[in-house]
Amino acid sequence: MTLLSIENVSKSFGQNEVIHGLNLQIQEGEFVSILGPSGSGKSTIFNLIGGLLTPEEGTIHLQNKIINGQRGSVSYMPQTPSLLPWRTILQNVVLGQELRGTTNIEKAQEMIHKAGLGEYIHSYPHELSGGMKQRVAFIRALLSPQPIILLDEPFSALDELTRLSMQKWLLNIWESNKRTVLFVTHNIEEALFLSDRILILSQRPASVISDLKVPFDRPRNEELVLEDQFLE
Ligand code: ADP
Ligand code: MG
């Protein structure tokens, strides 16, 4: 079943046409990576789906409902996520759920521990490193209840070992919860490791120039619990 459908979408900033006539369909349960050079419009596509920007042309449907310019229909971890400085890590993680009245504190606590952040659960964002804050935003996006999760270069601030752990963890969650994930990266290896499908964007204005099915099996169902001492 098609979950998300982008039809003939265009977006410009002044004279700068960033997206032109973009068409894209995401099926329920897919893990799709979007690859493209820096400045090609990957984050702009996410801002359009997340409703932070409105397209000049075209429509974005989620579950057959038009969501142009409508925030909150998807779970979105932006490229530079922000945490609320006056809220603890636990309070930040449950934010996406709170907004939708579905708070599950036990699950949030479990995820924070699994991400190796157990000792920071009641700390404030300024007490964490950049990579730790990125992991908090990642957990918040995973716990938010919308049917599709957008992750914009979620692991870019992490060292190799932490990145690998988070990648495996994401695959594990995707596999066990059957979530639909749209993932932006400029790392081809990461896209091959994680996705069912890889979309490659042209230089600006962006459109999909290649839509590949990933032909290999990935590591599945690996239960992974991170230990604080292994993480940056
Ligand atoms: P990517 O995520 O692929 O690196 P972006 O979507 O961030 O690319 O940016 C694509 C282009 O759109 C760039 O030329 C960027 O300068 C421009 N752009 C993005 N957001 C804005 C904005 N809010 N206002 C003006 N220009 C923007
Ligand atoms: Mg970007």
* Beta carbons within 8 Å of 58's beta carbon, 6+ residues apart: 6, 7, 8, 9, 10, 21, 22
Ligand 1 mean position, distance from CA 111 (Å): 32
Name residues contacting ligand 1 (CB within 6 A): 13, 16, 18, 36, 38-44
Beta bridge partners of 27: 2
Tens-place pLDDT, residues 162-220: 888 888 888 888 887 778 999 999 888 899 889 989 999 887 787 787 888 887 766 55
Cβ distance 96 to 143 under 8 Å?
A: yes
Q: How many Cα atoms sit within 13 Å of 164 on the Cβ side?
A: 5
Q: In terms of DSSP H, where are the helices of 144-207?
A: 160-177, 188-194
| pLDDT score for 226 | 52
| Segment-wise mean pLDDT, segments of 10 residues, the chain, 232 residues | 96 94 94 91 96 97 96 93 95 86 89 92 95 92 92 90 86 82 91 91 80 72 48 48
Residue 139 to residue 129: CA distance in whole angstroms: 16
Which ligand is located closest to the Cα atom of residue 37?
A: 1
Percent over 70 (pLDDT), the chain: 93
Site to probe by mutation for ligand 1, drawn from 12, 13, 34, 202 as the one with most ligand atoms within 8 Å of Cβ, is 13
Site to probe by mutation for ligand 1, drawn from 16, 19, 44 as the one with most ligand atoms within 8 Å of Cβ, is 44
Closest ligand 1 atom to 46 CA: 6
| pLDDT score for 230 | 47
Residue 191 to residue 42: CA distance in whole angstroms: 14
Cβ distance 115 to 107 under 8 Å?
A: no
Q: How many Cα atoms sit within 13 Å of 65 on the Cβ side?
A: 7
Which ligand is located closest to the Cα atom of residue 41?
A: 1
Ligand 2 mean position, distance from CA 202 (Å): 14
Question: What is the token pair recorded at 67?
Answer: 């969501």
Ligand 2 mean position, distance from CA 200 (Å): 14
Ligand 1 mean position, distance from CA 109 (Å): 35
Ligand 1 mean position, distance from CA 64 (Å): 28
Question: Complex ipTM, two decimals?
Answer: 0.98
Residue 69 to residue 48: CA distance in whole angstroms: 7
| pLDDT score for 213 | 86
Residue 183 to residue 192: CA distance in whole angstroms: 12
For ligand 1, atom 21, the nearest C-alpha belongs to 13
Ligand 2 mean position, distance from CA 223 (Å): 30
Question: What is the token pair recorded at 30?
Answer: 């897919």
Could you identify the residue written with the tokens 């369909």?
Answer: 25
| pLDDT score for 199 | 93
Long-range contacts from 117-124, C-beta under 8 angstroms, 24+ separation: 117/89, 117/228, 118/228, 119/228, 120/89, 121/88, 121/89, 121/90, 122/88, 122/89, 122/90, 123/88, 123/89, 124/85, 124/86, 124/87, 124/88, 124/89
| pLDDT score for 229 | 42
Beta bridge partners of 208: 201
